Amino acid sequence: MVKKSILSELAYEKIIQMLFDKIIDAGEKINKQDIVNALGISMTPINEAINRLIGEGILEQRNPGGIFVREFTYEDLRDLFAVRAGIEGVAIRLSIEKASKEDLKPLVGCFSQFSEESVFSKSMIQKYLKEDQYFHRTILSLAGNRFLTDLNKSFEILLKCYQQGLVRPPEMTLGEHLQIIDAVARQDAVAAQNLLMEHHLTTMHYIQETYL
């Protein structure tokens, strides 16, 4: 039973990463055998992971037709970024209040390969996307609050927000990220919280004004 549970969790995490990396994309039909072949895990834990993802609203069962990656609308994204503002704002404040400078180094080191003079080619945008994902996932991890972690994992809020890739281009968000990082480096928990919340609420307003 323990081994079965571990394999199911492993399958779940691997599929989540495939969705983050867009190996499986929005709207795509799930081919279970392809996942089995890619992960080298038997069908039973794959089925369990897929059923869990259906329950979380990441995948959807279409009858007839099969299982597909759910496509989120811009209305969904607008509302998700409002939720992220609250969750990550609390998370970064908790992280700074409880962590040492050494603990915060993974956050402070983020986006160091970019500057506001950077030219964002297609490959640079992909690197920025990966850094953006790492930055925001690390904030939740460093908070060390199991209820915040469970809340994100129960709904996979970050994954849903990244379905469209970067909602705003790097030229619009890099400066905001650097301001947040500066507040983290100074261990100014209140400033970091306010800046991070404003970062996500700005994206929420951008979605409303640009796409809705």
> Whole-model pTM?
0.87
Question: 94 — phi, psi (to 5°)?
Answer: -60, -40
Domain boundary assignment for the chain: 2-69, 74-211
Q: At what angle do helices 170-185 and 74-98 cross, to 10 degrees?
A: 20
The tokens describing 190, both together, are 């209140």
To the question of domain 2-69 being in CATH 1.10.10.10, the answer is: yes
Instruction: Compute the distance between CA of residue 152 and CA of residue 83 in angstroms, rounded to an integer.
Output: 10
Provide Rg for the chain, Cα atoms.
18
| 74-211 CATH pick, 3.40.50.300, 3.10.50.40, 3.90.1150.10, 1.20.120.530 | 1.20.120.530
10-residue mean pLDDT profile of the chain (212 residues): values are: 73 92 91 92 93 92 90 94 95 94 94 91 94 95 89 84 92 97 97 98 98 93
Please report the pLDDT score of residue 64 as a whole number.
Answer: 80
Please report the pLDDT score of residue 3 as a whole number.
Answer: 57
